[in-house]
Structure 1
């Protein structure tokens, strides 16, 4: 079996330790070097800034910062890195949001043991990888600049929305994001205005539909 001469460096981010352990064992058997692990999106971003891995493998539904928004920030910090998303979601709008964020591999978790190694090889070659069953046509339409509905929320607003949906208070959100209480409250107000949802329960349901948190 082919082995890279110099092991490619991988960052694994998933909030379930047993999942990380299984993926790490799989990747190390294939000759990759897992140089960092993370349990949430913020930790993944810190680890990526410190290690600048070749590939980051991110679970979609992580606490504090979801995989798509974590990937967006990581790719800003480490432009040469390639991002792969692990997810249970196969709906087109999740795939499109991932592609917009610069993610090159989209792997369905139930197929991860079979697909992840192939996905890593593909993205390292500069290709895009989608698990079987994901609509290639949707991605091609986006890449061809076809008309796609824009996400109404900014990356920061999605980050705030996720924390609201996780039950964090405005004060806690301000502390976690390193912003003022007033700024956190302003983000929350804009989220409600953009989504036309004006109560916390509705925001939680919206976050679940968007895949920011698990139901």
Structure 2
């Protein structure tokens, strides 16, 4: 459908890390990412893509009308939010608007975006850093500490530090709690 509208799909990625590498290599005009991508969620991948390929605009797809991720996504440079249930036409409109330099929000998620941005002005003591969110996502996906260190190109000690800091910030005492948090916050799909 997109190709009939003059949009060329240059690549598809099974996970966030691959999406970042492809964006770095291909420098597409637009990257469409799923919020709940494995290995590196859509918000974290958007942040990395904007650093690796500054000209690439990012659109996030979400299955949820819950938009708690929106303030972080906006800080990461995301220019569009599309609710998967809205269909292909909505994605097409988002791509066209973002290519024109605009911001696009699906009608089904717009109120949640406004609510999330309004709430973002209130200080949240347990707000996680980008790296902490990445570690939580990978822990929740069942990755071992050494594997997380390798994926993120950091030391095992640094992974342990981030995991401990997250657990302290969120008052979580076990891995199951981290998994529940990751699901609740949309870092991984349930």
> What pairs up with 1:57-206 in 2 under 5 angstroms?
57-135=32-110, 138-139=113-114, 142=117, 147-150=121-124, 152-206=127-181
Per the alignment, do residues 35 and 92 of structure 1 end up closer, same or farther by CA in structure 2, a change over 3 Å counting?
Answer: closer
Structure 1 unaligned runs (5+)? 1-25
Unaligned runs of 5+ in 2: none
Match of 2:3 in 1: 28
Residue 7 of structure 1 is matched in structure 2 by: none
C-alpha spacing 1:51/1:185, structure 2 compared with 1 (3 Å): same
TM-align CA RMSD: 2.1
Partners in 2 of 1:212 and 1:141 — Cα distance? 16
* Change over 3 Å in CA distance of 1:107–1:137 after alignment to 2: closer
How far 1:138 sits from its partner (Å)?
A: 4.7
Alignment: residue pair count: 189
Higher relative contact order, structure no. (Cα contacts within 8 Å, ≥ 6 residues apart): 2
CA contact (8 A) 1:86 1:112 kept: no
Calculate the TM-score normalised by the size of structure 1: 0.81
TM-score (structure 2 length as normaliser) = 0.91
- Tell me, in whole angstroms, the C-alpha distance in 2 between the residues paired with 1:189 and 1:48: 32
| 1:55-89 deviations in Å (ceiling 9; x for gaps) | 00001111100011100110111112110001112
Taking a change above 3 Å as real, the CA distance of residues 140 and 122 of structure 1, as seen in their structure-2 partners, is farther
